[in-house]
Amino acid sequence: MLELAHVTHVYANGTRALDDVSLSVPNGMFGLLGPNGAGKSTLMRTVATLQTPTAGSIRFGAIDVIAHPEALRETLGYLPQDFGVYPRVSAYDMLDHMAVLKGIAAARERKETVETLLNQTNLWSVRKKAIAGFSGGMRQRFGIAQALIGNPGLIIVDEPTAGLDPEERNRFLNLLAEIGENVVVILSTHIVEDVADLCPRMAVLAAGRIQLEGAPLALIEQTRGSVWAKTIGRDELDEARLRYEVISTRLFAGRTIIHILSHDDPGDGFAAVKGGLEDVYFSTLARSRRVPAEATSSAVAA
């Protein structure tokens, strides 16, 4: 179990990237959803001991992560959003080198570890190929391979499927599902489908704060009867935003489909729709933006 309590991080320029974040993350896949700039990468880097929070505590089992970061690193696998490797080195040699850095000194044990990981991530056939020649999906699978060295108990993956084509995305998500049964795996992403496909628990982070936490199916159930849809012209969108709580829009055949949040039938041609995780996510973001705006308005009025 990973436990975060009141974690806050303020950068030197005054930016409050994390604001009183508390989370309990059990074994299995845990999805951390949030838009770009929400503080997800800051939170992942903080948990991974790459930076120390301004305030708060982090524990992983018996490990006090802030007091003893080296203890966490021994059981951590980390795939950051951008990870660097020597591009002209082969996948096999790079994993072998990383295994040495992880403390696997015996040549026989390293060989078994590297070969197992290359097969597990479906990279055995390209083991002698330079990483510079890998596709985006192959690089991400290599990233998971290096994160799995040493059988970590905590694995963090930050925006792992961004930019992958659908086939590579599915392959990568299936790989994550396989490894996420007996360890804590945190999937940090802005892609709702990744969390919907994989994670029995999730949280939404926006403006540096946890806005929502729970089981995706339970959170979706809470929207039942309150999500409505209508197809409108593009020129009607501004008026719709003024009249309704619009949580998402998308184009279809040159027209705009809007989803709104309303506990009562709004009429005016709207039809009730079965809410999904995307509706939960977008309505949460809309609420997170609305609350500070309302607070500012109240302060001005006062």
Q: Are residues 89 and 182 in the same domain?
A: yes
pLDDT at 181: 75
Do residues 98 and 69 share a domain?
A: yes
Other CB atoms within 10 Å distance of the CB of residue 100: 13
- Of 157, 189, 212, at which residue does a domain stop? 212
Does one domain contain both 208 and 225? Answer: no
User: Do 69 and 179 belong together in one domain?
Assistant: yes
Q: How far is CA 131 from the centre of its chain?
A: 25
Domain count, the chain: 2
Q: Strand, helix or coil at 141?
A: helix
What is 229-289 written as a DSSP string? Answer: EEEE-GGGHHHHHHHS-EEEEEEETTEEEEEEE-SS---TT-EE----HHHHHHHHHHHHH
**One domain, residues 37 and 173:** yes
pLDDT at 12: 93
Report CA-CA distances (Å) from 128 to 88, 97, 245.
11, 14, 55
Same domain (yes/no): 233, 205: no
The answer on 15 and 99 residing in a single domain is yes
Give the C-alpha separation, 81 to 48, whole Å: 13
Report the b/e string of 151-180 with b at 16+ CB within 10 A: ebbbbbbbbbbeebeeebbebbbebbeebb
What CA–CA distance (Å, rounded) separates 296 from 302? 10
Residue 121 sits in the same domain as residue 175: yes
Residues 187 and 262 in one domain: no
Q: Is the domain of 205 the same as that of 280?
A: no
Assigned token pair, 245: 């709580």
List, for the chain, all residue ranges whose pLDDT scores fall below the cut of 50. Answer: 293-302
Q: Are residues 59 and 173 in the same domain?
A: yes
Give whole-number Cα distances, 220 to 93, 201, 224, in Å: 46, 12, 7
Domain enclosing residue 126, as ranges? 2-212
For residue 301, the model assigns a pLDDT of 39
Look up the pTM and report it: 0.85
Note the pLDDT of residue 302: 40
How distant, in Å, are the alpha carbons of 153, 287, 301 from that of 298?
47, 16, 5
